[in-house]
């Protein structure tokens, strides 16, 4: 293998819990809910699927089905989809729905998995190209920079910047080309068997991890190192 592609959310990073997400935005707005109200609102937002990188909607409203299917193809559609889901939940101030969306794009809302830095650093030391291929509607590069992982990434291929979503093979092909690697020499690492599995159609190997909280998944990325050569 000459290169490894990684998904972002649920693979290298995990977004904060829904309750922490809501609490941070309420505090910034100078608003408070009692513990029960906060828990109820967070639960409703989670069921709605309003937190990008969090749980999918438990029930997708019919009027949002088409938008949801293409949400990662542009920044505008991504914001529209997730704020529409958020607005299904009544909050103390309507402005909170946009504030919640803005919060999830901040580095503070994300934590790297415990083994992410080690794996990326080791790949760099072995001369293996690293790409991040994500279905997303915003620029995640600041998250990598803030958490010290950007020096290990050679290419970012983000769906909203190309108007193409995984599992479309074109997104993986763009990443392979950016790394100067043939697909047969590339492994795609991700948590979504449908989206990330699309790399197999191009000829890439695929390695899946589970989308778990960071405290529950300490070393799922390390087996990737067994698939790439050590430096002589």
Same domain for 184 and 138: yes
Domain count, the chain: 2
* CATH number of residue 154's parent domain: 3.40.50.1000
The verdict on residue 81 lying in a domain is yes
The per-residue b/e assignment along 39-48, b for 16 or more CB within 10 angstroms, e otherwise, is eebbebbbbb
Q: Which of 55, 56, 73, 83 is nearest to 137 (CA)?
A: 73
What's the pLDDT score for residue 232? 52
The verdict on residue 232 lying in a domain is no
Three-class DSSP category at 119: helix
Q: Cα(3)–Cα(202) distance, rounded to whole angstroms?
A: 14
What's the pLDDT score for residue 98? 98
Same domain for 187 and 75: no
Length, in residues, of the chain: 232
pLDDT in tens, 91-105: 999 999 999 999 999
Radius of gyration of the chain (CA): 18
CA distances from 148 to 42, 94, 141, 151 (A): 30, 35, 11, 7
Question: Structure pTM?
Answer: 0.96
Block mean pLDDT (10 aa), the chain, length 232: 97 98 97 96 98 96 98 98 98 97 98 98 96 98 98 98 98 98 97 97 97 96 89 57
On whether the CB atoms of residues 160 and 137 are closer than 8 A, the answer is yes
pLDDT in tens, 30-63: 999 999 999 999 999 999 999 999 999 999 999 9
What's the pLDDT score for residue 231? 62
Q: Cα(123)–Cα(211) distance, rounded to whole angstroms?
A: 22
Domain boundary among 86, 108, 130: 108
Domain boundary among 108, 135, 170: 108
Same domain for 143 and 82: no
Domain that holds residue 116: 3-14+110-227
């Amino acid at each position: 293998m000459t290169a490894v592609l990684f998904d972002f959310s649920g693979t290298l990073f995990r977004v904060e819990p829904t309750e922490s997400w809501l609490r941070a935005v309420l505090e910034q707005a100078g608003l408070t809910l009692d513990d029960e109200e906060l828990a109820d609102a967070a639960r409703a937002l989670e069921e709605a699927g309003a937190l990008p990188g969090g749980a999918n909607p438990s029930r997708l409203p019919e009027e949002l089905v088409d938008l949801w299917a293409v949400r990662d193809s542009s920044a505008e559609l991504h914001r529209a989809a997730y704020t529409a889901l958020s607005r299904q939940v009544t909050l103390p101030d309507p402005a909170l729905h946009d504030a919640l969306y803005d919060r999830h794009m901040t580095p503070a809302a994300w934590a790297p998995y415990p083994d992410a830095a080690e794996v990326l650093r080791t790949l760099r030391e072995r001369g293996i190209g690293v790409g991040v291929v994500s279905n997303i509607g915003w620029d995640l590069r600041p998250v990598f920079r803030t958490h010290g992982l950007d020096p290990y990434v050679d290419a970012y291929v983000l769906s909203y910047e190309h108007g193409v979503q995984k599992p479309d093979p074109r997104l993986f092909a763009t990443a392979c080309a950016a790394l100067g690697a043939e697909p047969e020499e590339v492994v795609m690492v991700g948590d979504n068997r449908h989206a990330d599995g699309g790399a197999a159609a191009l000829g890439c190997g695929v390695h899946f991890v589970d989308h778990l909280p960071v405290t529950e998944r300490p070393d799922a990325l390390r087996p990737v190192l067994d698939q790439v050569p050590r430096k002589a």
